[in-house]
Amino acid sequence: MTIDAERKMQFLFALRSKGVTNSAVLNAMEKIDRLPFIRHYFTDRAYEDMPLPIACGQTISQPSVVGLMTQALDISPRDKVLEVGTGSGYQAAILSQLARRVYTVDRHARLVREAREVFDELGLVNITAFAADGSFGLPDQAPFDRIIVTAAAEDPPGPLLAQLKIGGIMVVPVGQSDAVQSLIKVTRTETGYNYDELRAVRFVPLLEGMGKES
- Is residue 169 within 8 A of residue 186, CB to CB? The reply is yes
From the candidates 17, 23, 61, 214, give the one annotated as an active-site residue.
61
Which residues are CB-neighbours of 61 under 8 A, at least 6 positions away? 51, 69, 87, 90, 91, 150, 203
Q: What angle do CA 196, 200, 205 make, to 5 degrees?
A: 95
CB atoms within 10 A of CB 39: 14
* Cα 54 to Cα 42: distance, rounded to the nearest angstrom: 9
- Is residue 143 within 8 A of residue 135, CB to CB? The reply is no
* Cα 172 to Cα 163: distance, rounded to the nearest angstrom: 14
Taking 3-state DSSP, the helix, strand and coil percentages for the chain, each rounded to the nearest 5, stand at 35, 25, 35
Going by the DSSP 8-state scheme, the letter that residue 204 receives in this structure is P
17 carries an active-site annotation = no
- Is residue 184 within 8 A of residue 198, CB to CB? The reply is yes
**Which residues are known to be catalytic?**
61
